[in-house]
Chains A and B, each alone.
Chain A
């Protein structure tokens, strides 16, 4: 069964940094596009960014609100996807979901999410 599990969320002060991790099981992460989507409390879904698969050199794309502050990378040894977040703002407060992309650019399998709260 394809499964991803996120971790690393928590409370961080404005301007701070945090790194989220997404560990995959049931499949080899290198073969798939992977992504992050967030959801602010009581709000809708917002795409954060994606990492293409290994044949595509793990090329990344980011949404405008996080470009230059967030970085998506992979740790092959741990079969995991990482989201490094810097210069965090209150508007980054959200549940962050890791997902596996399907062949048509859909979110095939989602994790349960990890909550990031940016507050003084």
Chain B
């Protein structure tokens, strides 16, 4: 049981927009801690996609955006492409647990 809650799967047609939610609590997201997002392709290491809620590292296209409100955060992907098929994870810090926490991951399928 992950501390952060994500939907197990989402899907969308090429060119369309999908969002992935990440729900936490007052000891993590709601406590003011930043939310970060990662993409993991099969058989590879996770790669940072969004940091500090809404910032993109160099090289990440602006099709990817993040937001945070209250105890939740979300990742939006516009202009879906086949290569976006991957697992997506949110991550934050939990003050009660004194460590990082992850969502359970969301598998994105491009129809």
Contacts and interface: CB of A to CB of B under 8 A. Distances in A.
B24 interface: no
Contacts of A102: 48, 51
A107 B38 contact: yes
Given A44-B2, A44-B105, A107-B36, A49 B48 contact: no
A100 B40 CA distance: 17
Between A45, A61, A105, A109, the greatest number of chain B beta carbons within 10 A of the residue's beta carbon is seen for A45
How extensive is the interface on chain B, given as a class?
20 to 34
Nearest to B98: A61
How extensive is the interface on chain A, given as a class?
20 to 34
A82 to B, nearest CB: 19
B2 A104 contact: no
A112 interface: yes
A97 B102 contact: no
A110 B45 contact: yes
Contacts, number: 66
A76 interface: no
B44 to A, nearest CB: 8
A53 B44 CA distance: 27
A112 B91 CA distance: 19
Contacts of A108: 48, 51, 57
Interface string B94-111: 000111111111000000
A74 interface: no
B100 A97 contact: no
Nearest to B46: A110
Contact of B91 (A50, A106, A111): A106
B74 to A, nearest CB: 17
A62 interface: yes
Given A44-B103, A97-B46, A107-B36, 11 more contacts: A44-B105, A45-B46, A45-B89, A45-B91, A47-B101, A47-B102, A50-B100, A61-B99, A63-B97, A106-B51, A110-B48
Interface of A: 35, 37, 44-47, 49-50, 61-64, 97, 102, 104-113
7 contacts: A44-B103, A45-B105, A50-B100, A61-B98, A63-B99, A105-B33, A107-B48
